[in-house]
């Protein structure tokens, strides 16, 4: 096991500044020093080693390109982990396109998938998925984040708390509030869809 001693803040800022100016040794030091923490964060969120490695690499590339935007007002590692979490969120959004809708938690209209659905059932399932994605995307980022971690990544409360550096009680409360907001957003979209169908029928246009 390799031990990393804590860098003196002034020395760390000097290396960050040098890396931002393109110093190869400083940039290499940043990568070697912070890769383990970024990888742990990505692995906790994505739960797949290959995906975590890819997200870690993407996060480091983004961080190195954006070094000049780090203003030094917070911890550098926290800034890096924010980039890592955002990278993982992008992966969540990509996966959601192919994910099973989780609307069954919020409405009784979504049946469990059955083998060999006919075209009408398949179309309905796609419409449900699209509506759920729209509802999820309408949430504030903090709420969308915990929903993605809890429902799509199946992380436990403690794991989410570790990833987000939040007390577990805060995570539980945020998930509760996020689910309520998601239900409201879902029902609003459902009502809007129903209104469009009614209007189309009254004008004789195809729904």
Above 80 in pLDDT, residue 194?
no
- The yes or no reply on domain 99-203 and CATH 3.30.470.10 is no
Grade residue 167 by pLDDT with cuts at 50, 70 and 90: very high
For CATH 1.10.10.10, the residue range(s) in the chain are 99-203
| Nearest by Cα to 87 from 16, 30, 39 | 39
For CATH 1.10.1740.10, the residue range(s) in the chain are 9-89
- Choices 3.40.190.10, 1.10.1740.10, 3.50.50.60, 3.30.70.260: CATH for 9-89: 1.10.1740.10
Q: What is the pLDDT of residues 44-81, one digit of tens each?
A: 888 889 999 999 999 999 999 999 999 877 789 889 98
pTM beyond cutoff 0.75: no
Q: What is the DSSP string of 77-115?
A: HHHHHHHHHHHHHHHHHHHHTTSPP-GGGT-TT-PPP-S
The residue ranking higher by pLDDT, 97 or 135, is 135
């Amino acid at each position: 096991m390799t031990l990393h001693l804590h860098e003196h803040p002034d020395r760390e800022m000097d290396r960050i500044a040098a890396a931002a100016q393109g110093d190869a040794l400083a940039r290499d030091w940043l990568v070697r020093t912070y890769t383990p923490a970024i990888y742990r964060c990505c692995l906790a969120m994505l739960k797949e080693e290959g995906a975590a490695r890819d997200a870690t690499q993407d996060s480091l590339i983004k961080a190195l390109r954006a070094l000049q935007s780090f203003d030094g007002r917070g911890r550098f590692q926290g800034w890096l982990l924010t980039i890592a979490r955002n990278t993982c969120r992008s992966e969540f959004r990509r996966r959601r396109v192919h994910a099973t809708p989780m609307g069954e938690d919020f409405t009784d209209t979504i049946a469990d998938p059955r083998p060999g659905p006919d075209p009408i059932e398949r179309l309905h399932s796609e419409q449900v998925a699209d509506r759920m994605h729209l509802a999820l995307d309408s949430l504030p980022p903090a709420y969308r984040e915990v929903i993605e971690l809890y429902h799509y990544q199946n992380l436990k409360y403690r794991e989410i708390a570790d990833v987000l550096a939040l007390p577990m009680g805060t995570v539980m409360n945020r998930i509760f509030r996020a689910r309520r907001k998601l239900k409201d957003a879902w029902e609003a979209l459902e009502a809007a869809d129903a209104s469009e169908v009614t209007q189309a029928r009254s004008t004789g246009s195809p729904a």
